[in-house]
Structure 1
Amino acid sequence: MITSPTFVLVPGAGATSFLWNPVVTELALRGHRALPVELPGHGFDTVFPAGYDCPQDTAALASAPSPVAELLLQDYVEHTLAIVRRAAEHGPVVLVGHSMGGSTVTGVANAAPELLAHIVYVCAYCCVELPSVAAYAPRPAADDILSIARKTVWIGDPRKTGTARTNPRDGGVVTIQHELLMAELDPVLAPAVLNYALQPDESMRVMLADASVDRESWPKIPRTYIRTTADRVLPTSVQDRMIAEADALSSGVSFAVHSLEASHFVPLTRPVAVAEILAGLG
């Protein structure tokens, strides 16, 4: 059993540290240290694009260049690595990534595997045979909820804004975002989640960056994957592909896999179950 670990929790695309708050609470009540990471350009560190503030100017928002468009995956990795180094001074570190946060976990594990007691991917991207998050992005049928969301929730031209942009404050998309991201959550809570846990922009540079695992050092780190079997954003077929590709890298260390009947925002919708898995790592 890992002794007195610190859980360092990395959010995904366009997400703030708020996404992890329920899991942090559950871990703390079990006697563990837990730190949700606020990535560069996120949370209090973000600058909103023109047109986003109230009253909103949706035409300006659809075309405004993003203040966070220049952010790189390396910025996320270096920021998180600095946190991991400080946390490691006090004992073992378990690095956990949700969704696109898996690319940051991989980057830290590639750079400093000696600092990590365990890495955990929570319905997260683990790039092995393909190089980037964008390369693994699912390509659903036209009538799939993800395809519909891509047409109605994402706004603007990424070639002009530099980002994947949504408008979490748009009441017209709350229903589809609830179904897509957090279907098992009380819909009354969805607007608060969208306002606190999401911000409009995520840098396309991060999504397109090389996030592949280091084939020498990364496979030696104990690792866990939490599958979300009701996920409409990252289907289990894609999750299972990445798990299989990662396991094929080495015969000595494979993913310990846990499955939860949950949608993509599982840290918010099933925090007790996620915390129990994390607290039970051995």
Structure 2
Amino acid sequence: MRTLPTFVLVHGAFANSFSFAPLQAELALLGHRSAAIDLPGHGFEATFPAAYQAPQDLDALAAAPGGIREVTLADAVARVIGVLERAKRHGPTVLVGHSRGGITLTAVANARPDLIDRLVYVSAWCPVDLDVAGYYAGPEMAATDQRALATALVGNPAELGLLRNNFRTADPEALAALRATMGADLTDDEFRTFLNTFQPDDNLDAGTLDDRAGEATWGRVPRTYVRLAEDIAIPLAMQDRMIREGDALTPGNPFDVRTLPGSHLHWLVHPEPAAALLAGLVAD
């Protein structure tokens, strides 16, 4: 009997393993094994300052320390490698990353390509020619209103040593900006429910030029890019740019490109099509 792979799931910024629960349920119903990872400082390792609770104290929240301050990309890579080493004992592994999780996927594949049978980026950052900061300065990101997203930012990242957002805000401008960028196709209740799965803090280390895809390491792993057609957080033009750059780096091992409809978060809230797509990648 053929051994089915384990899908190892890596979340994006401010998220955690909880956001994959609906997808994992669908994968299980299709007969597939999965493991959702909490990167260091996420999930039950996250810091939720008392000032984040209701009633909120925004001045205190802007200054409260956060445990993710010292977390680096190297810490995230080590966490994922540890999970892959355990999962690999039971058969093939498919490493799936969303959004900022793609940075970790790329760095893991550079470090331990032997542990990964397929990489799957779901509208995820895949730095090839530039680091992520460089991509954010590109014309492809013009569709993302980064100033509007800053309405939810709390505190000074340089002073806090981390990124902090107030996802429990009731400010209509902030909520509208977040929804337009991440989940315009969700209902109000779906969107607010997802916001309540987010944690307020994330780490500052998004990688450097040294963490870009490596031809001899990352480039030897079979890979899929799942485009999200209505994504604004990472617009389609940026997704396609990273696909082109990856294909140019290793033309003998290009991306297998798939497309799902919907926004940055829609596939997690309504995961049936995504689960079917992932299952199809490993079908005989």
The question of a shared fold, defined as TM-score above 0.5 by the shorter chain, is answered with yes
CA contact (8 A) 1:229 1:261 kept: yes
Structure 2 residue 80 is matched with structure 1 residue 80: yes
Change (3 A) 1:169 1:159: same
SS in 2 for 1:98: strand
**How much does 1:260 deviate?**
1.7
Corresponding residue for 2:33? 33
Counterpart position of 1:265: 265
Matched, 1:166 2:165: yes
Amino acid at match of 2:183: M
Give 3-state SS (helix, strand or coil) of 2:124's partner: coil
Listed as ranges, the gaps of 5+ residues in structure 2 are none
Q: Deviations over 1:180-219 (max 9, x none)?
A: 21122221222221111x1111111235684311221211
- Give 1:53 deviation, angstroms: 3.2
Percent identical pairs in the alignment equals 43
Tell me how far apart the structure 2 counterparts of residues 218 and 117 of structure 1 sit (CA, whole Å).
Answer: 11
Deviation readout 1:78-118 (Å, 9 max, x if unpaired): 00110011000001000000001011111211111111110
Instruction: Call closer, same or farther: CA 1:51–1:141 in 2, change over 3 Å.
Output: farther
| CA distance in 1 between partners of 2:141 and 2:26 (Å) | 39
One-letter code of the match for 1:18? F
Residue identity opposite 1:160 in structure 2: E
In the TM superposition, what are the counterparts of 1:71-220 in structure 2 within 5 Å?
71-131=71-131, 133-137=132-136, 146-172=145-171, 173-196=174-197, 198-206=198-206, 210-220=210-220
- Count residues with an aligned counterpart: 279
Amino acid at match of 1:108: V
Return the TM-score normalized by structure 1.
Answer: 0.91
TM-score by length of 2: 0.91
Please report how far the alpha carbon of residue 155 of structure 1 lies from its aligned counterpart in structure 2 after TM superposition: 2.4
Give the deviation of 1:170 after TM superposition: 1.1
Flag the 1:143–1:80 CA change in 2: closer, same or farther, 3 A.
Answer: closer
Structure 1 segments, 4+ long, off by >4 Å, are: 138-145, 207-210
3-state SS of 1:280 partner: helix
The 3 A distance-change label for structure 1 pair 281 and 104 is: same
* Per-residue deviation, 1:176: 3.0
CA 1:129–1:209: 2 relative to 1, 3 Å: closer
